[in-house]
Chain A
Amino acid sequence: MALINMVQSLNKTLEELMGKDERVIVLGEDVGRDGGVFRVTDNLLNKYGDERVIDTPLNELAIVGMAAGMAMYGLKPIAEVQFQDYIFPAFDQIVNNIAKMRYRTGGRFNVPLILRTPYGGGVRGGLYHSQSGESYFVHTAGLTVVTPSNPFDARGLLVSAYKKNDPVIFLEPKRLYRSIKAEVPDDMFEVDIGKAAKLKEGDDLSIITYGSMVPTVMTTVEKNNVNAEVIDLRTLLPMDVDAIVQAAKKTGRVIVVHEAPRTLGVGAEISALIAERAIDSLLAPILRVTGYDIPFPYTHEELYLPGEKRIMSAVNRVLAY
Chain B
Amino acid sequence: MAIAGNLSNEQAIQAYKNAVIARTLDIKIISAQRQGIIGFHVPAQGQEMIQIAIAMMADNDDLIFAYYRDLALYIQRGVPLSLIFDQMLGNSNDLQKGRQMPDHFSFKEFNFSSVQSPVGSHLPLTVGAAYARRYTKKKGIVITTFGDGATSTSDFHAALHMASVFNLPVLFICENNGWAISVPTSKQTKAEIYKKGTAYGIPGKRVDGNDLIASLAGLQEAFDYVRAGKGPYLVEALTYRMGPHSTSDDPKKYRVDEITDGSENDPIRRLENLMLKMGVIDSSFIQSTKASAKEEVDKMLEERMSIPPPESSSIFDDVYEEPSWIQEEERRDSDGSD
A238 touches B159 (CB 8 A): no
Check if A67 is an interface residue, CB within 8 A of chain B.
yes
How far, in angstroms, from A105 to B113 measured CA to CA in the complex? 9
Name B142's closest neighbour in chain A (CB-CB).
Answer: A69
Write out the residue numbers on chain A whose beta carbons fall within 8 Å of the beta carbon of B124.
61-62, 64-66, 68-69, 93
Write out the residue numbers on chain A whose beta carbons fall within 8 Å of the beta carbon of B97.
106-107
B108 touches A105 (CB 8 A): yes
Write out the residue numbers on chain A whose beta carbons fall within 8 Å of the beta carbon of B121.
65, 92-93, 96-97
Q: Which of A239-261 contact B (CB under 8 A)?
A: 241
B95's partner among A89, A106, A241 (CB-CB below 8 A) is A106
Contact with A along B101-137 (1 / 0, CB 8 A): 0001010100001101110011111111111110110
Of B24-32, B212-220, B312-320, the stretch lying at the interface with chain A is: B312-320
A72 touches B125 (CB 8 A): yes
Write out the residue numbers on chain B whose beta carbons fall within 8 Å of the beta carbon of A101.
114
Known: A62-B124, A62-B158, A109-B106. A51 touches B135 (CB 8 A): yes
Known: A75-B135, A108-B108. A102 touches B128 (CB 8 A): no
Write out the residue numbers on chain B whose beta carbons fall within 8 Å of the beta carbon of A165.
321
How many Å from the CB of A282 to the closest CB on chain B?
21
How far, in angstroms, from A166 to B319 measured CA to CA in the complex? 9
How far, in angstroms, from A102 to B95 measured CA to CA in the complex? 12
Check if A74 is an interface residue, CB within 8 A of chain B.
yes
Most buried by A among B116, B129, B158, B326: B158
How far, in angstroms, from A194 to B320 measured CA to CA in the complex? 13
Check if A118 is an interface residue, CB within 8 A of chain B.
no
Contact with B along A109-151 (1 / 0, CB 8 A): 1100000000000000000000000000000011010000000
A65 touches B127 (CB 8 A): yes
Contact residues on B (Cβ < 8 Å of other chain), bracket: 35 or more
Name B326's closest neighbour in chain A (CB-CB).
Answer: A238
A57 touches B325 (CB 8 A): no
Contact residues on A (Cβ < 8 Å of other chain), bracket: 35 or more
How many Å from the CB of B19 to the closest CB on chain A?
28
Interface of A is mostly: mixed
How far, in angstroms, from A75 to B127 measured CA to CA in the complex? 13
B135 touches A66 (CB 8 A): no
Contact with B along A226-239 (1 / 0, CB 8 A): 00000000000110
Most buried by A among B124, B127, B133: B124
How many Å from the CB of A113 to the closest CB on chain B?
9
Check if A25 is an interface residue, CB within 8 A of chain B.
yes
Check if B242 is an interface residue, CB within 8 A of chain A.
no
A62's partner among B96, B162, B319 (CB-CB below 8 A) is B162
Q: Which of B288-332 contact A (CB under 8 A)?
A: 317-321, 324-327
How far, in angstroms, from A139 to B94 measured CA to CA in the complex? 28
Known: A62-B124, A65-B127. A102 touches B320 (CB 8 A): yes
A104 touches B133 (CB 8 A): no
Known: A75-B132, A144-B320. A106 touches B99 (CB 8 A): yes
B99's partner among A51, A92, A103, A194 (CB-CB below 8 A) is A103
How far, in angstroms, from A54 to B128 measured CA to CA in the complex? 12
Check if A43 is an interface residue, CB within 8 A of chain B.
no
Write out the residue numbers on chain B whose beta carbons fall within 8 Å of the beta carbon of A73.
63, 128-129, 132-133, 136
Name B114's closest neighbour in chain A (CB-CB).
Answer: A105
How far, in angstroms, from A100 to B125 measured CA to CA in the complex? 14
Check if A46 is an interface residue, CB within 8 A of chain B.
no
How many Å from the CB of B115 to the closest CB on chain A?
9
Known: A61-B124, A97-B116. A66 touches B131 (CB 8 A): yes
Name A70's closest neighbour in chain B (CB-CB).
Answer: B128
B319 touches A59 (CB 8 A): no
A241 touches B129 (CB 8 A): no
How far, in angstroms, from A75 to B129 measured CA to CA in the complex? 9
How many Å from the CB of B173 to the closest CB on chain A?
17
Known: A65-B158, A75-B135, A238-B324. A107 touches B317 (CB 8 A): yes
B118 touches A92 (CB 8 A): yes
Write out the residue numbers on chain A whose beta carbons fall within 8 Å of the beta carbon of B129.
69-70, 72-73
How far, in angstroms, from A73 to B158 measured CA to CA in the complex? 20
Check if B161 is an interface residue, CB within 8 A of chain A.
yes
B116's partner among A57, A72, A104 (CB-CB below 8 A) is A104
Contact with B along A8-43 (1 / 0, CB 8 A): 000000000000000001000000000000000000
How far, in angstroms, from A200 to B124 measured CA to CA in the complex? 45
How many Å from the CB of B37 to the closest CB on chain A?
21
Most buried by B among A89, A92, A104, A166: A104
Write out the residue numbers on chain B whose beta carbons fall within 8 Å of the beta carbon of A92.
118, 121, 155
How far, in angstroms, from A160 to B327 measured CA to CA in the complex? 21
B132 touches A104 (CB 8 A): no
Name B120's closest neighbour in chain A (CB-CB).
Answer: A92
Which 3 interchain pairs have the tightest Cβ spacing? A65-B124, A69-B128, A69-B125
30 A-B contact pairs sorted by A residue (CB < 8 Å): A59-B161, A62-B159, A66-B125, A66-B127, A66-B162, A68-B128, A69-B127, A69-B129, A70-B129, A72-B129, A74-B136, A75-B128, A75-B131, A75-B132, A75-B135, A97-B116, A97-B125, A102-B321, A103-B99, A103-B318, A105-B96, A106-B95, A106-B97, A106-B106, A107-B317, A109-B108, A165-B321, A166-B320, A237-B324, A241-B325
Q: A interface vs B, CB < 8 Å? A: 25, 51, 54, 56-57, 59, 61-62, 64-75, 77, 89, 92-93, 96-97, 100-110, 141-142, 144, 164-166, 194, 237-238, 241
